[in-house]
Structure 1
Amino acid sequence: MTDLKSLPLDGLHRELGAKMVPFAGYEMPVQYALGVMKEHLHTREQAGLFDVSHMGQVILRGPDYRSAALALEALVPVDVAGLGLNRQRYGFFTNDAGGILDDLMLANRGDHVFVVVNAACKDADIAHLRANMPEGVAVEVIEDRALLALQGPASEAALSALNPAVAAMKFMDVATVDLCGAECWVSRSGYTGEDGYEISVPVAAAETLARALLADERVEAIGLGARDSLRLEGGLCLYGHDIDETTTPAMAGLGWAIQKVRREGGARDGGFPGAPTVLRELQEGPTERRVGLRPDGRAPMREGVELFKSETAAVAIGRVTSGGFGPSVGGPVAMGYVPAALSAPGTQLFGEVRGKRLPVQVVALPFVPANFKR
């Protein structure tokens, strides 16, 4: 792991007994002493603290917010210009074929757009922005901030003990908040399906903030293993697995993220890469769809498992893109792509595991209902 980057809180993770693994070019904590199962359940029941400092943080700054927002709209099929002040939205970059280059979060911070991108795509995303922003819109990469996620039903109580102002925030609100004496950029959002916050904190103050949160008996340090099982139960996509350059928003079930103003007939419809394909599929439907899958029995069906229409069918009709054991569900869960005609909940399919065809049923997503504070 000699070529890997270290997180700003690397020393704290090791002090806490984290097992470190390579992920997206970084040494990351995959689990702590509790283990993945207990970390997962603790997040669902109380609050978990995740270090996601490997993600990319970027500011787009123009003469005013609208200038930067409209420049970004040339790359994403999302209503950026119409986003309310101190509000955040999910979006994605598309390519000329309508495929997804990366998914991201973007926020209206008054005089700029704040964007958070995935670690594995960070360098490519930043290059994409720099190559495509018009003159007068600057791309500022934030290098001096860590990113922490506090997730779970006790998150509000734990964070508001440091600053009561965060309790008034609703899902997808963004605010600048003083935490432990540091200016933090806080959003009420996350990647677990639970209520929670994502906190951009100056690197120099990150350990102080992390220790203050971990001193709360409701908060445990949580690694990548539980982060993955939590997002899978929440029906949330992982870039490079459930979505990539070959999957369109309609295929991935992400049409809800494309607002009316950017759709056919809207005030600012089209104007983004792959718009003809993306808009056509939103109207007519895609040929394949991302679905939830519940294998029979206790054996998980993991990424790469091929799906068949019957026990004897010669040709695979789909594939699993994410799969594992769902601790909150109490059994195996998976997501994958199947033909649209076979995507209705209740459809019986078969997954091939070690040469054996095992029954799996199409189910509605998410596996665990979201608990966001609306």
Structure 2
Amino acid sequence: MGDEDTLRHLPLEAVHEEAGARFGAFAGWRMPLTYPAGVMKEHLHTRSKAGLFDISHMQLFAVEGAEAAAFLSRACPLEAGELGEGKSKYTVLLNEQAGIIDDLIVTRLAPQRFMIVANAGNAARDEAHLRAIAADFDVTLSPLERVFLALQGPEAESVLAGLGLDLGALTFMTAMEPREGWFAARSGYTGEDGFEIALPVAEARDFAARILADDRAEWIGLAARDSLRLEAGLCLHGQDIDEKTDPASAAILWAVPKHLREKGEFLGAEALRRILAHGTKEKRVGLKPEGRQPVRAGAVLTDENGAPAGRVTSGGFGPSVGHPVAMGYVMKSHAEPGTRLFAEVRGNRVPLHIHPLPFTPHRYRKG
């Protein structure tokens, strides 16, 4: 969070003000939190129709050069050279201790050209880290100035097709450049089918207005984005993962190909191998509180006897499932689904159970 006068501003801020957005600080930006419909209706609208999110706070980097693939394979536990053109991959930037600096999506657009999508609060740290690695490679790293919009939900493809933007050939985690200066990926942060589209600032206001002219599409704020991603079991960097957590404890080891865990030469590889050899002490899990009382980030978890058992990293109410939802880290001995723990909430012990993730099924278009 930051002081109002030090926050960065979205290029479409005036559009959100006209739409009646209520703003708040997030990752150094002044962001729309909710619109007049409110978080519950915004959340459910995204699940049933199409929600439009302004995610321009996130940073895109173009990576180009003869050694672009080798550079990315050093920076991340990623086989960038094996990634097909138009294919995207979820990956992580690790420090030397295998702590997660950021989670990223890397897309190959051409033999020597890639796109990185990074999180807002980490953009400067990511850029410095990547530039330090890039010094050893024939590669250019360019931060891009774009408006970045996400259209998420079962009607997303149809809404875009109605504007003449046919992205129907894309499947989940694939991408293309539909126009000069544009980048479109079939991906998102809600668990729904949908798209993330980066485009030049000068073209963005008109594009957003054309989307919203379709009554199936509505602006959705950061609050509903958070409840949607939490129901979908997706991590938020800075809360559920950070430089003190590793991919194994965070239950995202699936993002690191098995042979790279064993023989990869990415930054943090040796530390990750040591962690895997010794075993992790804790694990990220889903948590379902009993009753209607949400359990928020920061709550301490205890076992039946009051002994420390873990901590909550994200929590709130899940409008689609009709009950509170949370995620957190628990000791491995407590990680089995169905295990009953307690969260300390304002002096009360709220019972909850370990719950499989996600809370709502993913509905990605797999092809």
TM-score by length of 1: 0.94
State yes or no: 1:149 paired with 2:146: no
2-structure distance, mates of 1:15, 1:164: 26
Which residue does the alignment assign to 2:167?
Answer: 166
State yes or no: 1:201 paired with 2:203: no
State yes or no: 1:8 paired with 2:14: no
- The CA deviation string for residues 5-40 of structure 1, in whole angstroms up to 9 with x for no partner, is 110101100000001111111111001011000000
Which residue does the alignment assign to 2:73?
Answer: 73
Aligned to 1:78, what secondary structure does the other structure show? coil
Output the aligned Cα RMSD: 1.3
1-structure distance, mates of 2:170, 2:190: 18
Q: Structure 1 residues 164 and 14, CA, compared in 2 at 3 Å: closer, same or farther? A: closer
State yes or no: 1:341 paired with 2:341: no
C-alpha contact (below 8 Å) 1:79/1:261 kept by paired residues? no
Alpha-carbon shift at residue 279 of structure 1 (Å): 3.0
2-structure distance, mates of 1:234, 1:18: 25
Aligned residues: 361
Letter in 1 for 2:185: S
Aligned to 2:196, what secondary structure does the other structure show? strand
The counterpart of 1:223, out of the listed 188, 207, 221, is: 221
- The CA deviation string for residues 258-284 of structure 1, in whole angstroms up to 9 with x for no partner, is 1234231xxxx3212221332344466
**Structure-to-structure mapping, 1:286-297, within 5 angstroms:** 286-297=280-291
The counterpart of 2:311, out of the listed 319, 328, 331, is: 319
Alpha-carbon shift at residue 369 of structure 1 (Å): 0.6
Aligned to 2:333, what secondary structure does the other structure show? helix
C-alpha contact (below 8 Å) 1:75/1:273 kept by paired residues? yes
State yes or no: 1:235 paired with 2:233: yes
Q: Please, which moves more after superposition, 235-244 or 77-86?
A: 77-86
C-alpha contact (below 8 Å) 2:190/2:232 kept by paired residues? yes
Letter in 2 for 1:19: R
1-structure distance, mates of 2:270, 2:132: 22
Which residue does the alignment assign to 2:55?
Answer: 52
C-alpha contact (below 8 Å) 1:79/1:258 kept by paired residues? no
2-structure distance, mates of 1:184, 1:162: 15
Which residue does the alignment assign to 2:361?
Answer: 369
Q: Please, which moves more after superposition, 271-280 or 208-217?
A: 271-280
Alpha-carbon shift at residue 285 of structure 1 (Å): 4.0
- The CA deviation string for residues 36-92 of structure 1, in whole angstroms up to 9 with x for no partner, is 0000000000000000001111011112xxx21211221211222211111111111
State yes or no: 1:127 paired with 2:128: yes
C-alpha contact (below 8 Å) 1:255/1:282 kept by paired residues? no
Which residue does the alignment assign to 1:113?
Answer: 114
Letter in 1 for 2:138: G
2-structure distance, mates of 1:158, 1:285: 47
Letter in 2 for 1:316: P
Which residue does the alignment assign to 1:84?
Answer: 84
Alpha-carbon shift at residue 165 of structure 1 (Å): 3.0
Alpha-carbon shift at residue 356 of structure 1 (Å): 1.6
- The CA deviation string for residues 144-201 of structure 1, in whole angstroms up to 9 with x for no partner, is x1100000010011111123530121101111114xxx65210000000000000011
Q: Structure 1 residues 261 and 333, CA, compared in 2 at 3 Å: closer, same or farther? A: same
Unaligned runs of 5+ in 1: none
Q: Structure 1 residues 19 and 168, CA, compared in 2 at 3 Å: closer, same or farther? A: same
